[in-house]
Chains A and B, each alone.
Chain A
Amino acid sequence: MKRVGVFLCWCGSNIAAHVDLDRVQEMSEDLGNVVHVQQNKYMCSEPGQETVRKAIQRHGLDRVVIAACSPRMHERTFRRTVEGAGLNPYLLEIANVREHCSWVHPDKETGTPVAIDLVRTAVAKAVQDVPLQSSYAGVEKRALVIGGGIAGIQAALDIAGSGYEVVLVEREPTIGGRMAQLDKTFPTLDCSSCILTPKMVEVSQDPRIRLLTYAEVESLAGYVGNFEARIRLKARSVDFVKCTGCGDCWNKCPYRTPGEFDLGLGKRKAIFIPFPQAIPSKPTIDRDTCAYFQKNGKCQVCKKFCQAGAIDFEQTDEILEEKFGAVVVATGFDLWDHARYGEYGAGEHPDVISSLELERLLSASGPSDGHLKRPSDGREPKRVVFIQCVGSRDEAKGVGYCSKICCMYTAKHAIMLKEKIPDSQAFVFYIDVRTPGKNYEEFYRRATVEAGAQYIRGRVSRIYLRGKQLVVVGEDTLLGQKVEVEADLVVLASAVVSRADAPQVAQKLGFSYDNYGFFTEAHPKLAPVETNTAGIFLAGACQGPKDIPETVAQAGAAAAKVVRLFAKDKLETEPMVARVDPEHCAGCQWCRPICPYQAIGMETLTERPGGRRVTRRVARVNTSLCHGCGACSVACRSGAMNLLGFSNEQLWAEVEALCL
């Protein structure tokens, strides 16, 4: 038999005035298992707590029920109290007779029966309580950052700056991401590489950051504090130890191909660095273009000219296995492919380009050295039409959401256009101009008033050819009249979308993503950089459209979360987690998909019923991943899955006690 002590708090008159505590005491004394009942004016006061501790010892209590305020208020307090008396802190139950009874009912007449029910229920639950223990796991104080755009760079620098080691994995030959492709940046118009390059250099020079470019994470196992990653280092065919970055190889290489960095608007060599400020500033051979690889061993010009003897055609991929305590995912975004808009030419007009292509055409390091020339004939465009929300806010053909950054970068483009070509005219077709940010509206004003861009409110219906002339047709919805422009160049503000492989990345790393492929934060307001997998954090546009200031802020926040984790030597795990009774588990796996945290795995049990060796698959909860929601325990039809602290037995007992 259990020895339950019941403690009734007056809360001054808060409870006492609405509940006849003497009657509650009488009833409680009649309950089975209850061996001691006591009242106190202020249970949470130090003397009140002392009463409880004394009673536990004097009466040998092994379960405690406190009828007082909401457990959300003092559960922790009283757990500590009972622990102080040598009892397991989870052998405590609270009956919420204040918030759920005395405060909401006018008098003792109404309040007392409710209080009686609540106390009886708490006692019933307490009888079913079992001692629970937290467990502890060590923390590998090293972070893995995936993606080397501005988000990944910032997160890596912040974590390293707090004294921890970081491995930064970038799949391209250089870090920098999209920001490196930009010309100038709103709302201040600093040159993108001027503010990005120093950070890239800092990454390469920080002794705590190990930079792995041309690399990808193949798999991630483990849990918070103890992840294990397999990282593939793709063969670059260049020995980085020997290479001095002199550039002789790429200057001499005779083979060219359209460059990814310039979005195909310019060319690069088969051995290349993507752009002059690339980090690392050592080259990579693209085996799909290189003659040596494509034409069995021909060419080798680079090898001939490399004085350092760094060219290594035989190099193979390497696999690295490393342990990490936390992961920051910063894999960035892509632009929606406007070829899906047949009405805008299906990507077939060379002078209908994406906004990112325009960035390359404007950039001093771009394919046209910063002279804005249109792709078809190299002429300087005078009438440039910008179309907003291409693919964005389009449930029919694109994505339903607003891409958030395009209103601002188009204002930037309009200003830049005027700067580069003073006798040009920008026409911007928009539906709404969205500029919620510090100095953003002012920046938009600059585009319209100072740069004289013509903003026309209306979504363009069609871009078509009249002879060889591109014609853009829209409605000026403010006038209610159709308008058309003969355009020299059309720039489409294509939607920000998730990277094509985002779902695979999320699956590989073990967290969720939304319908659009953006990674899902644990809570939209209160946990915006956490994923629902403990220890994995998000930074930048992989989570949703973001501009640079927001990306950098989020990366800093993700870094802070990592550092907060690393500040502890051991992680305490929540004791109220799910537990499988392997005896009853049928191995059906119903519980697994329901867990929001992928905390349930399977293990093989070996048994010897009657001497025969039998193996059987059963579910197993990873207590480091489990958050204790209990969904699995309901999904389980065999009753094998239970939730500690809110067990089937406890809840069942509560229901029965209530319905007595």
Chain B
Amino acid sequence: MAVIPTIDLTQAAAGREVLLQQVRQLADTDPLACYQCGKCSAGCPLSFAMEQQPRQILRLVQLGLKEQALASATIWLCAGCAACTTRCPRRVKIDSVMDALRQLAAREGRPAREREVAAFHESFLETVRRGGRLHELGLVGRYKLRTGRFLQDGILGWKLFSRRRLPLKPSRVSDRRAMERLFRPELQP
């Protein structure tokens, strides 16, 4: 028998203010303004893949249910398209809230529910940190190492490669130290 747990709001209340404050600060928006109308979810292109709708993520934050919010796949599936933010009648910056939650999850070293998505972002930043620019081949290489998805997109890669759209040599920033200055050490993988 599957047990659906009762949410303990008494306990959640303790951490609620802290979570709200973190989100307010990182996302520059107040999650409490959300009145749960659902306009954000309704326009979200990825809602079909989300177990919890963007609106529900806002709800989790409102109640102070940090664990659930940060463990949700939704925050990783959000493509950052801002359809939600553009239409929210309460001016909640939902896309920024998603960013904030991902950042919190990353900062606290929590395993992402969407391993591939997080791996992609990490690989991306690693590539940029190395060369200052994104080198697609380098990115794909790193990503494959992280995820073990060696075969994905083999044909596509060839197609791009054959059309001279996957340069072998990365284009780089010449100021070698520039990136080191911007990437703060606590984020180095």
Contacts and interface: CB of A to CB of B under 8 A. Distances in A.
Nearest to B37: A459
B127 to A, nearest CB: 35
Interface stretch (B15-23, B24-32, B48-56, B136-144): B48-56
A398 B87 contact: no
A481 B83 CA distance: 17
Interface stretch (A31-39, A104-112, A238-246, A389-397): A389-397
Given A458-B42, A482-B41, A482-B48, A477 B36 contact: yes
Nearest to B83: A461
A343 B88 CA distance: 11
B35 interface: yes
B91 interface: yes
A462 B42 contact: yes
Contacts of B53: 475, 477, 480-482
Contact of B42 (A393, A397, A474): A474
B103 interface: no
Interface residues of B, number: 22
Contacts of B87: 343, 396, 461-462
Central interface residue in B52, B88, B89, by most chain A CB within 10 Å: B89
B47 interface: yes
B91 A395 contact: yes
B82 to A, nearest CB: 13
Contact of B89 (A393, A475, A476, A477): A393
A460 interface: yes
B43 A457 contact: no
Given A475-B47, A482-B47, A482-B48, A458 B38 contact: yes
A462 B87 CA distance: 9
Given A394-B89, A461-B87, A431 B56 contact: no
Interface in B37-87: 37-44, 47-48, 52-53, 55-56, 83, 87
A481 B56 CA distance: 11
B159 interface: no
A396 B91 contact: yes
Interface of B: 35-44, 47-48, 52-53, 55-56, 83, 87-91
20 contacts: A393-B89, A395-B90, A396-B91, A431-B35, A431-B37, A458-B37, A459-B37, A459-B39, A461-B42, A461-B87, A462-B43, A462-B87, A473-B42, A473-B43, A474-B38, A474-B39, A475-B38, A480-B52, A482-B44, A482-B53
- Leading 9 A-B pairs by shortest Cβ distance: A461-B43, A461-B42, A475-B38, A458-B38, A394-B89, A459-B37, A477-B38, A459-B39, A475-B42
Given A474-B42, A475-B42, A482-B47, 19 more contacts: A393-B89, A395-B89, A396-B88, A396-B91, A431-B38, A457-B38, A461-B42, A462-B43, A473-B42, A474-B38, A475-B53, A477-B53, A477-B55, A480-B41, A480-B52, A480-B53, A480-B55, A482-B41, A482-B44
